Structure 1
């Protein structure tokens, strides 16, 4: 976070701290505050030594203040934003899989940046679980404030200022049939607390499209980002390293049929970050203009967040490679429910959309408990 903002929060905290604190708690807080304030003064002189000391001070403050209950929500958030403390993925609310990656130490710190005039793009963290390659992109520019970007013609959200993104591995992008890269880059804001960060993710595949066995443990990707109003495209080389081998692979080959529709789940892959399903619908002797997808529920009845995927239609068979954000906990089984998509949205599903008689249950092995 901005140093001046952090100094302000510290001063506000000191001014407003509860007068009923015990002398011991007050003394510890004063010592910690003084330590942090002194380090902020020496920031330019002892820059290389700042990181471990600030981290240590934050830990002391956390142990002293959080357990005592004498801290404002604003101050708590400020401490969380201190560099080198934890992972930014831990703050992601929309994707429980990425949040779990941050909390479980499955993200990798990287330092890849490129500057043009007074603008800087920097990749700070990555997550790669064998299916999803995700990276955090920080944008710094004088025409960017609180997530709003001035293109010279209009002020838009930072995510709307991205005109184009390409992601290639070994020089191969999504248009190459032999590439590991699928349909395109997906990106969205990191959240209100980090408005100048964007989350980008790519889904990797193998040429035969039905297994993850050929995806490498590590790779280097070239990313090119084009921003509205900026003539210069930004190119970054980003390293990815697989963070976990904790992957459950099942081939249930389970089939349910009803009213001329056959639903088959052929493969289930689960990592702490991503759950991946390979499934298909066969429309026996007929065609349909309905778009059908499958919703995934765990043993607690929670619907897993649907991510990106791709499908293809051949003859009367619709095949999908779908991904979902892995929910917290270790379920005993999944329930997979086909449904008819309404209003071009597959995110929100109501009871009247489910197709009766096609539900499939997939038991997970005991070691996943």
Structure 2
């Protein structure tokens, strides 16, 4: 069984296509563009580069746990949280994230948890301010304060870079189990800048391995290890997460559609107010095992998802694994707000990247599928 990260593989395909083309937007920011975009530019704006969580493979310097947390639990009291939420302009920052509908829903619906955890090293301070967790996707906001950081520009001693390019390595562990570790199908960690309004803040997210229902509790503390460019130490952050929604739709349609030599199947779907996660596959029926050209063909098939109002769900990230004559997908999308009766899944041929504006001639006719969101699980 051949495992791969769709982000990395699609990037390689684009590099082959043209060395002068932009990096795949699977590693571009879905969030930075929010603050720079205007309504009349929505159809023409370009994605900005997005950094991806890189796992630490080796560290030659000694690991140092930096600073102390101000609150043992990390969470602000519910009374204080409700008070903060009710004050104009002091509500959840997640509410202002236009490019990720799911995170914006978390802020608007009061699903984000205020946190006040800080770590220090010399004159550098890292502060976790908010978290959100829906049982699958965990995200948190991190504010950095340092004398060599001003308006989102970080001086590493050699050159000045954007803050989101000043992160050398990050890894995310739950109960001592590193997420996205070698051997895991999931490579779902990302980080990006929080936008022009908050230049010294980063947004981190991790897609957790939920293959074992007992592996991710409703409440947990994650250890997030972070290395900053130019600082020969590891910051270790204790980040508390609490599942904040019970509005979860689980569907197991086990449905398949065949057109010519391709079969599109959907085995499971989970939707929360933040994240819609779809487990699907595309198979090449004429063969029992895929050669390199056939693998390349299948990995260039994306799945566009639309709700019952015709709104396209923004694609977040995904992973894949080859098995026999098929490519199995675990794709994540941002959930659109409101009550949804059904979703329409439309496979298409990728020209640029998974988040591209798909044209009608890219859709693979006859492979569309409708998933009822209210049928029995």
Superposition TM-score, scaled by structure 1 size: 0.73
Q: Pairwise mapping of residues 358-369 of structure 1 onto structure 2 (< 5 A)?
A: 358-365=367-374
The alpha carbon displacement at 1:236 in A equals 0.5
Question: Partner of 1:98 in structure 2?
Answer: 103
Q: Confirm or deny: 8 A CA contact 1:263 1:281 kept in the other structure.
A: yes
Q: CA 1:277 to 1:213, structure 2 compared with 1: closer, same or farther past 3 Å?
A: farther
Name the SS for the 2:244 alignment partner: coil
Name the SS for the 2:177 alignment partner: coil
- CA deviation string 1:83-128 (max 9, x = no partner): xx21111111111111110111101111221111111111111000
Question: Partner of 1:39 in structure 2?
Answer: none
Distance 2:366 2:214 in 1: 33
Q: Confirm or deny: 8 A CA contact 2:188 2:319 kept in the other structure.
A: no
Distance 1:338 1:214 in 2: 31
Distance 2:302 2:214 in 1: 25
Q: Confirm or deny: 8 A CA contact 1:293 1:346 kept in the other structure.
A: no
Distance 1:137 1:116 in 2: 15
The alpha carbon displacement at 1:346 in A equals 3.8
The alpha carbon displacement at 1:349 in A equals 2.1
Question: Partner of 1:14 in structure 2?
Answer: none
Q: Confirm or deny: 8 A CA contact 1:248 1:269 kept in the other structure.
A: yes
The alpha carbon displacement at 1:158 in A equals 0.7
Distance 1:362 1:112 in 2: 41
Question: Partner of 1:223 in structure 2?
Answer: 224
Q: 2:192 aligns with which of 188, 207, 226?
A: 188
Q: Confirm or deny: 8 A CA contact 1:165 1:185 kept in the other structure.
A: no
Q: CA RMSD in A?
A: 2.2
Q: Pairwise mapping of residues 204-215 of structure 1 onto structure 2 (< 5 A)?
A: 204-207=208-211, 214-215=215-216
Q: Pairwise mapping of residues 59-74 of structure 1 onto structure 2 (< 5 A)?
A: none
Tell me the matched-pair count: 286
The alpha carbon displacement at 1:176 in A equals 5.8
Question: Partner of 1:299 in structure 2?
Answer: 308
Q: Pairwise mapping of residues 97-246 of structure 1 onto structure 2 (< 5 A)?
A: 97-173=102-178, 174-175=180-181, 177=183, 182-207=186-211, 214-246=215-247
Name the SS for the 2:361 alignment partner: helix
Q: Confirm or deny: 8 A CA contact 1:183 1:310 kept in the other structure.
A: yes
Greater relative contact order (CA < 8 Å, ≥ 6 in sequence): 2
Moved over 4 A (4+): none
The alpha carbon displacement at 1:214 in A equals 4.9
Question: Partner of 1:270 in structure 2?
Answer: 271
Q: Confirm or deny: 8 A CA contact 2:314 2:355 kept in the other structure.
A: no
Q: CA 1:103 to 1:360, structure 2 compared with 1: closer, same or farther past 3 Å?
A: same
- CA deviation string 1:243-288 (max 9, x = no partner): 0111011111121100100001111111111111110111112442
Question: Structure 1: which 5+ residue stretches go unaligned?
Answer: 1-50, 60-78
Q: Confirm or deny: 8 A CA contact 1:305 1:347 kept in the other structure.
A: no
The alpha carbon displacement at 1:344 in A equals 4.1
Q: Pairwise mapping of residues 24-103 of structure 1 onto structure 2 (< 5 A)?
A: 80=89, 85-103=90-108
Q: CA 1:132 to 1:216, structure 2 compared with 1: closer, same or farther past 3 Å?
A: same
Question: Partner of 1:309 in structure 2?
Answer: 318
- CA deviation string 1:169-209 (max 9, x = no partner): 121112265x7x9315201111111111111000012346x
Superposition TM-score, scaled by structure 2 size: 0.71
Larger Rg: 1
Distance 2:221 2:206 in 1: 13
The alpha carbon displacement at 1:215 in A equals 3.0
Q: Confirm or deny: 8 A CA contact 1:161 1:228 kept in the other structure.
A: yes
Distance 1:118 1:112 in 2: 16
Q: Confirm or deny: 8 A CA contact 2:134 2:272 kept in the other structure.
A: yes
